[in-house]
Structure 1
Amino acid sequence: MENPVILQTFYWEMNTGKYAEEYPEEANLWNLLAERAEEISEAGFDLLWFPPANKGAGGVKDVGYGTYDLWDLGEFEQKGSQRTKYGTKEELLKAVEELHKYDLKLLYDAVLDHRMGADEKEKVKLKDCSEAEVWTKFNFPGRGDKYSSLKFDWNCFDGTDWNEITKEQKKMLFDSKEWDDSFDEDFLMGANLDYQNQAVREDTINWGKWIINEIGFDGFRFDASKHVDNSMIHDFITETDKSTDKELFYIGEAWINDVDTLVDYLEAIDHPKLHVFDFPLRERFIELMHGNLDMRWLGAKGLVNRKGYKHRAITFIENHDTERDTANEYGTEAVAQRKFQAYCYILMRKDGVPKVFWKDYHNFGLKEVIDKLIEARKKFAYGEAFESESNDKDTYSYIRSGDQDHPGSGLVMMITKHENGEIIEKTVNSGKANTEYYDYTGNIEEKVKTDSDANGQFKVKGNAEKGFSIWVPVES
C-alpha cells in the first residue's frame, strides 16, 4: 500500500432515528459496502474498518460491542434474530469477496474484553468471601457446538458488575481469580474474560485465525485494548499473523491522550506490528477547533511525530465514540470546526496512517472535499517532509519535496486558524526552484511561482471554513 488511507465504515447511530430515514441503504451495511466497492477503491481508500460483525446481546440493535457470541456472524437464530445489525453471514462473505476484488484490505473490530447477554445466571463465591448471583452462563443455543464447543460459565471470567441477589451494580472479583495483567484497569464492563484460563485464550485465538483464514479479513482493530490482558494481545497478533501468508494489519484502541503513556502502552504489548490510534494528536485538533492551538508546534504533536513510533500512529479526527448525537459519555468534544484543516494535516503527513470517519464522509457532506484531499495525498504527498520557517501561532505550513518515483509530486500544505477573512500570505521554501504551483483544493485561484531559491509567496484563506490549501506543481 502506498500512502494508505483507512475508511471507518460505520458510526454509532447508523440505521437509527433520522439516519434510518435519510440513509435507508445503511440498514444493510454489508450489501452497501459490496455495492460501493469500486467507488470506495477509486476514492483512494486502502483499508476498511468494519464494525464488530458478530452477534451482540442486543441482537439487531446491537452496534456490536455488547459481544454475545464471537462465532455467530449472523448465521444463527440467537438473541432474537439470525442477522446482526449489519446483515447476515452470507451477506458479509459476499461483501468480503467483492471488496477484495478491488484490492481493499478489511479490518475486523475485535471485542475481546468482555461478554454480555448471558443465557443463565449462577451463584458464585466472591473474593471477599460473600456470595453473588451473576449472569455468566453462555450456552449459545442457536449455534450449539459449531465452530467451537466451549460454553462459558463463571470459570471463564474474572468478574462482573451485577449481583442479582442485591440488585446492585458494582465491580466484583470472583473467588480464586485475579484481574488480568492489562495496561489499564482490567475490568471495563459486562462479564470480564479471564485470559489466564487457557481454554478461553485458545478459543479466542482460534476464532482470530478463523476470521482471517476462513472469513477472509486482513487484520484487526482491538476494541478497548488497554483493558485486555497485554500478553493476550501480543499472542493474538503473533498467532493470527503466522497462520497466514497475508500481510496483516493490527490497530489497538488504547484511549490514551498522553504521548509518553501511549508509548508505554506499545512497549507493554511489545509487538512491532501493533499500531495505535493517535488520541494525543486528536486532542490538539480540539484545541485547533477552539482557536487555542499554537500552530508553531503542531509539527511536534502526537504519536505521529514521536521519533521511533511515527509509523505506528493511526491518525484520525473522529470515530464512533468521539462523535455522537447524544451527550458524549467519554468526556470529549467532537471536532465541529476546522475539520478540513485537521484532515489536511493527517492526509498530507509523511508518517502515520490516516483514517476517515464514515459520518464525516457520507452524512455530514464532507465527501467531495475529503476525496480531493485523498487525491492530493495519492498524487503529490511524496518525498522528504519538513516544516516551514514561516510557521507562526496562527498559520502552519508543511512541505513534501516530491521524489523521482512520482513525477510531478511534492506539495506545500497550509492550514490556518485565522478568522479575519483576509488572505494570509507566507514566504515558504517548497524545495523546488522556478516551479509554478496551484491550490489543489481550489480555495485560492491564482498561481504561485517559486524563485531560484525555491521560495514562493504561498497563500491561504483566513477563515474557518476554507482555511486550508494544498499547493502542488502545475503539470509541465
Structure 2
Amino acid sequence: MDMRNPTLLQFFHWYYPEGGQLWPEVADRAASLAETGISLVWLPPAYKGESGGYSVGYDSYDLFDLGEFEQKGSRATKYGDKEQLIAAIEALKAHGVGTLLDVVVNHKMGADEKERVLVNRANPDNREEISSEVIEADIWTRFTFPARGGQHSKFVWDYKCFNGVDHIENPDENGVFKIVNDYTGDGWNEQVDDELGNFDYLMGANIDFRNHAVTEELKYWARWVMNEVHCSGFRLDAVKHIPAWFYKEWIEHVQEVAEQPLFIVAEYWSFEVDKLMQYIDQVDGKTMLFDAPLHMNFHQASLQGADYDLSQIFNDTLVARDPWHAVTIVANHDTQPLQSLEAPVEAWFKPLAYALILLRENGVPTVFYPDLYGASYEDEGGDGGQYRIEMPVIPELDTLIRARRDYAHGVQTEWFDHPNCVAFARSGTEELPGCVVIMSNGDEGEKTLELGEGLANKRWHDLLGHREENVESDEHGNATFRCNGGSVSVWVLSE
C-alpha cells in the first residue's frame, strides 16, 4: 500500500442499490482503483442492520453477522454475503489497496425481546433535564441473536448495556428516556458533544460504555473482525455521541493487537474547529477526523459563486489548524441530496474543491463514490415531495486523483491573494515532478508566478485540458498561468 500520497475512496453512498451488488463491484474495480491511485477504500457497515437486506448499515443489529446468518429477513446484507465481503477485501489487498471498515457502536436496533424496566423521561431539547418521576415500562433492549446461536460470541445484550431509548411500551410513548439501572450510574456519559445539553443519546438503544462488560465485548469484536477480514483500519461513526475516553481506550487496544499500524478516521460532525481540536486532545491524537468545517466552506463557495472569497476557503478548518489529523472531503453519504446533513457541493465547484484537497500537501483526501462513478436515485424530501436526484460523474476527477500520485510532490507555495482567483504550486523533488494549480470562481483567472531559477525556461501544459495553450517561463523562472472562469487548471511540465 503506497502511503506517500494516500487517497481514500468512500465506496458507497446512501442510495446504493440493494441486492448484494456492492462487494462484487469492489472486487471488480480493485485493479482499476489501484491503477488510478486510490490507496484506501472505506466500505459501508458490513454487518446486519435492523432492516436486514435493505439496511444501509447504520441501524446496527448484530456486529458478528457479516452476511452469514439468516437474520432480519436475509442472510446477506444489502451489499452481499460474508464470502463476497472477504473476496472484495482480498481483491483490493492483491492490488495494494487497503480497506477501512465502518464501526457503528453508538446504538443497537432491532432487539429480539422486550424487558420490563424503570425509566425517567428526559427533555429531548435539554437531555440534562431528567425527570425524577419513575415509569415502569417495556423496552426493546434484549439482543439474543437466536439465529446465530452463540457462534463467534455468546454475549447477550440487555438493558444493563444501554442507558437510553426513544420508545417505551405499556405505557406507549415516544421521546427520550433514561434507563434506571445500577450498572452504569446516573445521568448520561461525559466527554460527549454538548448540543441539546448532552448529546450522548442519538437513536435506538443507546450503548452505555460505563458497563465494563460492554467495552470488553466491543474490543473482542474488533479483534474478531480484524482476524476475519484483514482490514487496514476503521472509520468510526458518530463519535460526538460516544464518550471520548472509550474510543481512546478502544483505539489503543486495536493498534496494539494489529499486525500493522491501522489507519483510523472518526466522524465528529461539527463545523466548530475548536470542538474537533478538543476531541483530538481527549483521545490523545489517536484518530484523524473528517474536516467538516472545510466541507461546509466548499458548500457555501459553490452556492455563492464569485461572491465567495476564495482566498479565505481554508479559514477555521481542521486542515489549516491541525493538518496531521485532517481527512478532507467534498461530499459523503450524509451530505448528499435528501440526506440528514444535506449540504451538497454544486457540480461546477467540485473540480475546484477536489483540486484543493488532492493536490495540496496537507490532509488525507477522500473521494466520494458518486463523483467518480455517478449516481441517480429517488426519495422523499423534507417537504414530503418526491425527488429524483442525478449526481453526475465529475469528468476531471479521475485525472485529479492520478495527478495527486504523479505531480503532488515537493514544497508548497501559495498565492491566495485574490478573492476570485487563487493558485498554489508544488515544487517537485529530485525524483518526482510538481505542478501549478490555478482556479477561479468568477471570470477567467490569470496569475504571474515567480517559481524560481530551478524552473527557468520550462514549458507547461494543462493536464485537465481546459486550456489549450502552452506556458513558458523566462530565464528567472517567472511564468503567467491562466484558468477559465468557474474552473481549475493543473499545469504540469511538458516533456
TM-score normalised to the size of structure 2? 0.88
Residue number among 374, 381, 384 corresponding to 2:411 in the alignment: 384
Contact 1:225 1:254 in 2 (8 A): yes
Task: Find the aligned partners of 1:350 and 1:158 in 2 and give their Cα distance.
Answer: 43
CA drift of 1:257 comes to 0.6
In the alignment, which residue of structure 2 is the partner of 1:23?
Answer: none
- Pairing 1:82-97 to 2, within 5 Å after superposition: 82-97=75-90
Residue pair 1:123, 1:132 contacting (<8 A) in 2 also: yes
| 8 Å contact from structure 1 (residues 46, 103) kept in 2 | yes
Contact 2:20 2:76 in 1 (8 A): no
**What SS does the aligned partner of 1:31 have?**
helix
* Pair 1:220 & 2:231 matched: no
CA deviation digits over 1:195-221, x for unaligned, max 9? 111111111111111222232111100
- 1:373-402 superposed Cα distances (whole Å, 9 cap, x missing partner): 01111111111112126x301011011111
Task: Kindly indicate whether residue 353 of structure 2 is the aligned counterpart of residue 348 of structure 1.
Answer: no
Partner in structure 1 of residue 434 of structure 2: 410
Residue 373 (structure 1) aligned with residue 400 (structure 2)? yes
Question: Residue in 1 aligned with 2:350?
Answer: 339
Question: What residue number does 2:7 align with?
Answer: 5
**What is the aligned partner in structure 2 of residue 139 from structure 1?**
144
Runs of 4+ displaced beyond 4 Å: none
CA distance 1:248–1:317, shift in 2 (3 Å) = same
Would the aligned equivalents of 2:219 and 2:250 in 1 still touch at CA under 8 Å?
yes
Change (3 A) 1:413 1:332: same
2:216 to 191, 202, 211: 202
> Which structure 1 segments of 5+ residues have no match?
17-25
Amino acid at match of 1:416: S
**Does 1:445 pair with 2:471?**
no
On the 8 A contact 1:284/1:293 being kept in 2, the answer is no
**Number of the residue aligned with 2:189:** 180
The change in CA–CA distance for 1:304 and 1:11 in structure 2 (over 3 A counts) is same
- Percent identity of paired positions between Structure 1 and Structure 2: 38
Q: 1:410: how far off?
A: 1.3
Partner of 1:22: none
Residue aligning to 2:326: 313
SS, match of residue 74 in structure 1 = coil
1:329 Cα deviation (Å)?
A: 2.8
Alignment of 1:454-469 (within 5 A): 454-462=477-485, 464=486, 467-469=487-489
What is the alpha-carbon distance in structure 2 between the residues aligned to residue 78 and residue 316 of structure 1? Answer: 34
Contact 2:319/2:362, CA 8 A, preserved across alignment: yes
Residue matched to 1:434? 457
- Post-superposition CA distance 1:344-370 (Å, at most 9, x none): 111111010000000111114436421
The answer for the alignment partner of 2:123 in structure 1 is: none
Hey, what's the Cα distance between the residues in 1 that align with 2:302 and 2:73?
A: 43
Q: Tell me, what secondary structure is at the counterpart of 1:36?
A: helix
1:165 CA drift (Å): 2.3
d(CA) in 2 for partners of 1:335 and 1:229? 35
Distance across 2 between alignment mates of 1:5 and 1:222: 18
Give SS of 1:341's match.
helix
**Aligned partners of 1:299 and 1:387 also within 8 Å:** no
* Counterpart residue number, 1:472: 492
Q: What is the aligned partner in structure 1 of residue 383 from structure 2?
A: none
Offset of 1:123 from its aligned partner?
1.2
Does the CA-based 8 Å contact 1:181-1:229 persist in structure 2?
A: yes
8 Å CA contact 1:277, 1:314 repeated in 2: yes
> Cα deviations across residues 71-109 of structure 1 (Å, max 9, x unaligned)?
100000111111000011111111111111011110000
Provide structure 2 residue ranges, at least 5 long, that are not aligned to the other structure.
Answer: 121-131, 194-198, 375-390
Q: What is the CA-CA distance between 1:258 and the residue it aligns to?
A: 1.7
| Number of the residue aligned with 2:378 | none
CA shift for structure 1 position 434: 2.3
Distance 1:148 1:249 in 2: 26
Secondary structure of 2:468's aligned partner: coil
**1:330 deviation in Å?**
2.5
State how far apart, in whole Å, the 2-side matches of 1:77 and 1:204 are: 22
Once residues 173 and 69 of structure 2 are traced to their aligned partners in structure 1, the CA distance between those partners, rounded to angstroms, is: 33
Distance in 1 between residues matched to 2:395 and 2:30, nearest whole Å: 17
Give the AA of the match of 1:136.
T
Give 3-state SS (helix, strand or coil) of 2:396's partner: helix
Q: Any idea what the Cα deviations from partners look like across 1:272-300, whole Å, max 9, x if unmatched?
A: 33110001111111121022421122354
Distance 1:211 1:144 in 2: 18
The aligned amino acid for 1:188 is L
TM-score, normalization: structure 1? 0.92
Give the Cα–Cα distance (whole angstroms) in 1 for the partners of residues 280 and 25 of structure 2.
35
Count residues with an aligned counterpart.
Answer: 452
Q: CA deviation at 1:405?
A: 3.1
Q: Root-mean-square deviation (CA), in Å?
A: 1.6
Residue 303 (structure 1) aligns with: 318
Question: Are residues 373 and 113 of structure 1, via their aligned partners in 2, closer, same or farther at CA, if it must alter by over 3 Å?
Answer: same
Q: Offset of 1:266 from its aligned partner?
A: 1.0
Question: What one-letter code is carried by the residue in structure 1 that aligns with 2:293?
Answer: P
Matched with 2:74 is 81
Output the CA distance in 1 between the equivalents of 2:16 and 2:250: 30
> Which stretch has the larger CA shift, 132-141 or 166-175?
166-175
* In the alignment, structure 1 residue 105 sits paired with structure 2 residue 95: no
3-state secondary structure, aligned to 1:126: strand
Q: Distance in 1 between matches of 2:473 and 2:426?
A: 15
